[in-house]
Amino acid sequence: LRDNRIELVRASWHELSISVSDVSLSDEGQYTCSLFTMPVKTSKAFLTVLGVPEKPQITGFTSPVMEGERMQLTCKTSGSKPAADIRWFKNDKEVKEVKYLKEEDANRKTFTVSSTLDFLADRNDDGAVVSCRVDHESLNSTPQIAMQVLEIHYTPLVKIISSNSWPEEGQSITLTCESKGKPVPEPVLWTKDGGELPDPERMVVNGRVLSISFLNKTDNGTYRCEAKNPIGRNSTEYVLIVHDVFNTLLPTTVIPSLTTATVTTTVALTTSTTTSATAISTR
């Protein structure tokens, strides 16, 4: 062995030791130790050199991504021997549906491996951390990781929350329009039955909140909240029904019903006999 990287560590009648610094792939092969006796005695060992994979890189991401667009992220690492293993994670949860490709490098000894993650952009993925993890026996159980934070733009999601579930005449009510989108939606637009709010003195808009005081039956109708951002717009409706004031009945006094009495009257009838006399004249 003639190489400046190889150093004799110990030489004795029963042991011969060498060390190899800055190990390269070319150092792989069969090593022979000989004892020059008659006959010569030899012992052989095969040295395997692992190729350490390069730090992985994620490509294919453009920011921002619109909701519904297809995303293809590719993670690649070169120089591994044997071929490294690549795994994908989204917020620490492993993603199994991926494509894996292994190619032999120009030196015919190491490999370049790549894996592609293919999915549709969804608003729930906004802010998610996608990571590519490379595992290899040369890394001593310490994987190499590349990460990418997703930025997804999407149209607003709108919801109306009412402060009063049973509004009555004379009461007040506030309707809050919650809107979530990316980019952040512009100030919301309130309308009633397809037109402007009819009574600005009682119907006050403050940011995303519509307050209506002294409710009456003319306030009945459909209130619409609309939010928009550069991606698009969305709206939702709330049907307001103002109820009559609920009157509490006063305690009532129970009046006993009249007792019907049957009165029998006995009437005595007196019969009188009249005697009439007829005079007969005799001639």
CA–CA separation, 56 and 116 (whole Å): 13
Which pair of tokens denotes residue 49? 């050199």
Query: Same domain for 199 and 175?
Result: yes
Query: Same domain for 175 and 221?
Result: yes
CA–CA separation, 213 and 171 (whole Å): 7
pLDDT at 257 (0 to 100) = 47
CB 102 within 8 A of CB 82: no
Which pair of tokens denotes residue 6? 């190889």
Which pair of tokens denotes residue 40? 């010569």
- Residue 134's nearest CA partner among 71, 81, 75 is 75
pLDDT at 16 (0 to 100) = 87
Band of residue 280 on the pLDDT scale cut at 50, 70, 90: very low
CA–CA separation, 225 and 113 (whole Å): 51
Query: Same domain for 63 and 115?
Result: yes
Query: Which one of 124, 150, 176 terminates a domain?
Result: 150
pLDDT at 12 (0 to 100) = 84
pLDDT score of 278 more than 70: no
Model pTM above 0.85: no
Out of 8-12, 34-38, 66-70, 222-226, which region has the weakest mean confidence (pLDDT)? 34-38
- Residue 119's nearest CA partner among 154, 141, 84, 150 is 150
Torsion of CA 56, 148, 100, 25, to 10 degrees: 0
Residues 6+ apart with CB under 8 A from 68: 120, 121
Work out how many domains the chain is built from and give that number. Answer: 2
The helix/strand count (H/E) of the chain reads as 0, 20
For the segment 242-277, what is each residue's pLDDT rounded down to a tens digit?
Answer: 999 875 444 544 445 444 434 333 334 333 333 333
Query: Same domain for 144 and 181?
Result: no
Span 131-138, average pLDDT:
96
Is 118 domain-assigned?
A: yes
pLDDT score of 279 more than 60: no
Query: Which one of 119, 150, 181 terminates a domain?
Result: 150
Query: Same domain for 132 and 115?
Result: yes
Which CATH number is 141's domain given? Answer: 2.60.40.10
Q: For residues 94 and 263, which has the higher predicted lDDT (pLDDT)? A: 94
| CA count, 13 A, side-chain hemisphere, 201 | 1
Structural domain containing residue 219: 155-240
